[in-house]
Amino acid sequence: MKLSGKISLTFATLVTVLGLGVTSAAAQTPVFVVTPETSTIKFSVKSSVTLEGIFDKWDATLTFTSPDVSTGVLDVKIQAATVNTGSSFKDDKLKSKDFFDVKKDPLITFKSTKIVQTAPNTFDVQGNFTIRGVTKPDTLVFTAEREGKASGEIKGTMAFDRKDYGMDSNIPFIKIADRVEVTIALQVKRVSGPPVIFKQ
């Protein structure tokens, strides 16, 4: 994520400095970078003791092949071992083979396959969600700023049944629900190209 963003920004700056006219299709493509310092990926589970947290390390890219919002692709890669609940006991259990099994499958990923605008600023982002090497289709429901702005936040939620991904265990002395909710809040900035066009 960071590398692709830096390359795009450097290219745009180079074009400006040299005064080059860009008429290729690439110049008509919105280019965004995600700012991890002001973005978060969180999760929560209903349980007898509070069980919620964030992931400290992850990468995300949002790419487009045209200004049409439906051409966007969201790709998120989370380092499962960076789970942070504020409790080392809970973190160690979540990293174990009973849950994320980080030694065998270090990444939790989501890659969109289709973006459907459902309201003026709401989108269903359909894609493939992978935990513990198990991949299943899922949908992020996102809200986003209207088009025309150079930066803003896109925020989405997704829920899944942990047992569908082989996480059948519980944490000792803690009763855990099966439903897990994930909240992704990304600060994005358009560094080159035209704004994304939403349906009215």
Task: Tell me what pLDDT residue 76 has.
Answer: 97
Comparison of pLDDT for 197 and 60, the residue scoring more: 60
Q: What is the mean pLDDT of the chain?
A: 86
Question: What stretches of 23-149 show up as alpha helix (H) in DSSP?
Answer: 88-95
With 90 as the cut, is the pLDDT of residue 6 above it?
A: no
Of the candidate CATH numbers 2.60.40.10, 3.40.640.10, 3.30.2350.10, 2.40.128.110, the domain formed by 2-192 belongs to 2.40.128.110
As a whole number, mean pLDDT of residues 49-62 equals: 94
Which tokens belong to 16?
Answer: 């400006």
Q: In this structure, are residues 36 and 186 in contact, taking their beta carbons and an 8 Å threshold?
A: no
Q: Which of 33, 32, 77, 34 lies closest to 55, judged by CA?
A: 77
Question: In the prediction, which pLDDT does 173 show?
Answer: 78
Q: How do the domains of the chain map onto residue ranges? A: 2-192
Give tens-digit pLDDT for 68-100: 999 999 999 999 999 999 999 999 999 999 999
Our CA dihedral for 54, 109, 2, 13, rounded to 10 degrees, sits at -130
* Residues 114-131, mean pLDDT to the nearest whole number: 95
